[in-house]
Each structure stands twice: as structure tokens, then as C-alpha cells.
Amino acid sequence: MEIHMKKHLLPGLYVAVIMAVSVPALAYAEEPADEAGQLIEEMESETETAAETKAGILAEMETNPAAQSEAESEAKPAAESEEETEAESETEAEPSLTMDRESVHKIMLAMGDQTLRTTRKFLLKGGVIEDGYKGDAGIGLQQMLVEFGCDITVDGAIGTKTIEALHQVQERFGLALSDQIDQSVFDTLVPLLLMTRGEDSSEVDVQGFYDAARGEGYYQYLKGCAMAGIGKYYSAREAFENSSWQDSQERAAACVQELPDSGLLWRNPDITGTESGLTFTVKGSEDSSGMCFEVYDTDDQLVSVVFVRGSSSAKTDLPAGTYHIKDGSGTEWYGLAETFGPEGNYEYLTFSEEEDVQYNAVLENGQYELAINVSEIEEGATSVGAANVGWEDSFQEE
């Protein structure tokens, strides 16, 4: 493969590379030790409250025979006939997908997220989040939904869009839809968020809980749903392939996305300026394959992502400056977050094939072209090399 880059009308570069797409991952700080103690105190406080409530009820029953009689009456089955009673006894309730409070506490501690803890404290006190609510607890819920891949504003004001996003997440994981968020609904989502973040809690056997609730392979199925929800389709495919639950294999096959059309896939909204135009041209390539180009500034900040399908061109406008470029190529596309997966080919531009030194393209005001697979080098163009990198090194750690 030969790649060249040139500046039209003026002497310049002519370049060659192969790269991968990267979307910065969220980072989560560990929770300080004093907050861990505070969380334990919250757990103990909840336990004491429950014990006091139980003790009060027992005391009332001992001193008030009518209350005891009423409690016993409420405890009796409400079946209207023997046949109805027998039918109900034969129908087993589906195991709950809500973990016990202590397990959820441990997961919250592992995630170390104060915003989510604020929301849960509100719900543990009997609070409810619904359409029309506005406050700090709403911020935690909206933040959670954004991490699940929903496109909503995080401002603490709960409206139709937030409730629709909640329904979207609940449908993704096969949960019952709810318009109100109480402690039980929130706690059901917490371990699924841990799964979505790709984190694990050494204190809680999350996989064991889900597999016990629905059967072996259910945890991997949920993990596939979680990864697909945030656009990590290769990771989703792996999870579905490791599950034998229901339609997991069909879901795995569906994770391979259609190759995008040639064009700009993403542009950093924080970087402005369009003085320099950079066109990526690929020649001699089949329509069943594609190349994805990443452009970084000197601070290693991703500026734009461009895709070229088959033999065609795509352009990005950039502020004048110095850039380095990576690219990736392949035939199976897994979305912007995971591009061509580990089966793809990934490289970064170097000064020559012999010298493994990162190439820096200096773009002044004007139009430039990066050409792939050209038959000959045009006058004024510079030929450069490329160094192979692994899939993980290409973008996943950035």
C-alpha cells in the first residue's frame, strides 16, 4: 500500500497511514475511605430503622388484640375459591432482578459516585422521582441514563424525555416499564450500570446473581445488551456469543454494522476553525471494505474522525496547525467506539517505513490531500510510512 499527502497549488506533503477511531472513555474516581465509612453508617442506620419499625408493630400487637387480629386477617390469602388458590400455588413468581440492599450498597461503594449516592439516599427515605420532579436526585438519575447511552440533558428537571429514556433502558434489559422511580427501580438499574461501565465489584457476584435469576448465560446476555446500548458492538458480540440464552446468537450476528458512507463521522465540538481542508482519498479498494481516519492535534486531542468506503474520498475542515494521523481498515464495522474490532488493521503515520517516528503534518491555510494506494507519487508530494499498532493500542486507552 502506498499513501501520499500533498497540498494543492503549493509544495507540501503527501502521506500514508492506517488508524482507528477513538471516543474518550469516562473515568470514575475511587471513593475516599471516609466515604466508605459513611456508606456503612447509612447501611446500619437503615437496618436500625427497620428493626425499630418491626419492634413497634410487635409491641402494638401484644397490647392491642384487635391489631393482632387485623394483622392475622391481612396475612391470609385473598383467594375467592379453592380452585383459584390451587392455581395460584402452581404459578411460581419469576425471580426478582433487584438485588438486596447490602449488595447494592457494595456496588455503589465500588463505583464511588457521589451523585448517584445522593439520588439513592433520597429514594431510601421514601422519595419518588417522576415527571415534574426537579432536584439533585433527578441529576443522578439522568446521569445514569446518559451512561446507559441515552441522549438527554442532565439538569435535574424530570420530564417526558427523561421518562422515555428510562423506558428505553428498561426495554433494553427486559425490565418492566415504570413512570416513577423509587428505590427498587433504581436498585435494579445499579448493577446494570456497573456492567455498562465495564467495572466489576469483588464484593458482589453479579454474574452469579443474574444467572441464578434467569438461567446460565443470562449475565452475558445482559452484558451484550449493555455494550450494544453504548455503541460498543464488538464487545456486545463477544458477550452474546458467550451466552446461550434465548436469541443471543442472532443478537451476536446483528452486532456487525453496515459500513458507513464516506464522510465526516465526528468532529470535536470544542475545536473551531476551518482554515485548512484535508481530503482523504482511497483508490483501488472494494466497496465491501473501508478506512477510518483519526486526526489528532499536538496535545493528542482527537479533532475529527473521517470514514472512506471503498474507492472514494471524504474531507474534514481543520484549523491551521500541526496534526498526526491514525487509521484503521477492515470489512466488519462495529461502530465509532470500536471501529473494525481486533480483526481490523491499525497503523499510525511515520516519517518513513524505516524510521518508526510519528509523522506530524503541518497544515497551513489551504487544501491538502492524503492519498492511499496511488500508482505513482506526484510532483510536490511526500511519501511517508506507517507503523502497525494493535487494536487496543489504537484507540481503546485514549
Report whether pLDDT(3) > 70. Answer: no
Residue 269 and residue 227 in one domain: no
pLDDT at 12 over 50: no
Instruction: Examine residue 67 and state whether it is found in any structural domain, yes or no.
Output: no
Q: Could you tell me how far CA 339 lies from the centroid of its own chain?
A: 15
Are the beta carbons of 347 and 324 closer than 8 angstroms?
Answer: no
Domain count, the chain: 2
pLDDT of residue 165: 98
**Residues, the chain:** 398
When pLDDT is averaged across residues 199-223 and rounded to a whole number, the result is: 90
In a domain, 111, yes or no: yes
In this predicted structure, the answer to whether residue 150 has a pLDDT above a threshold of 80 is: yes
Residue range 239-271, pLDDT digits in tens? 999 999 999 999 999 999 999 999 999 999 999
User: Domain check: are 116 and 236 in the same one?
Assistant: yes
Q: Please state, rounded to an integer, the average pLDDT across all residues of the chain.
A: 81
**311 and 168, same structural domain?**
no
Do both 18 and 120 map to the same domain?
Answer: no
* C-alpha gyration radius of the chain: 28
Question: Has residue 141 been placed in a domain?
Answer: yes
pLDDT above 70 (res 115): yes
Q: Which of 82-91, 200-209, 313-322, 359-368 has the lowest mean pLDDT?
A: 82-91
Reported confidence tier of residue 13, pLDDT bands at 50, 70, 90: very low
How far, in Å, CA of 337 to CA of 134, rounded? 33
Query: Do 274 and 336 fall within a single domain?
Result: yes
Query: 13 CB contacts (<8 Å, ≥6 apart)?
Result: 5, 6, 7, 361, 362, 368, 381, 382, 384
265 and 376 housed in the same domain: yes
Range of the domain at 283: 3-25+258-396
pLDDT of residue 361: 83
- Sign of the Cα torsion 181, 186, 192, 195 reads positive
**Same domain, residue pair 106 and 210:** yes
Residues 296 and 240 in one domain: no
- Is 375's pLDDT higher than 90? no
User: Do 371 and 380 touch, CB atoms closer than 8 A?
Assistant: no
Q: Which of 68-82, 141-155, 336-350 has the lowest mean pLDDT?
A: 68-82
- Average the pLDDT over each of 38-52, 102-116, 295-309, 365-379 and give the range with the smallest value: 38-52
Q: Are 225 and 134 within one domain?
A: yes
pLDDT (tens digit, 9 = 90+) per residue, 347-368?
Answer: 988 866 556 677 788 888 899 9
pLDDT digits (tens, 9 = 90+) for 277-315: 999 999 989 999 999 999 999 999 999 999 999 999 999
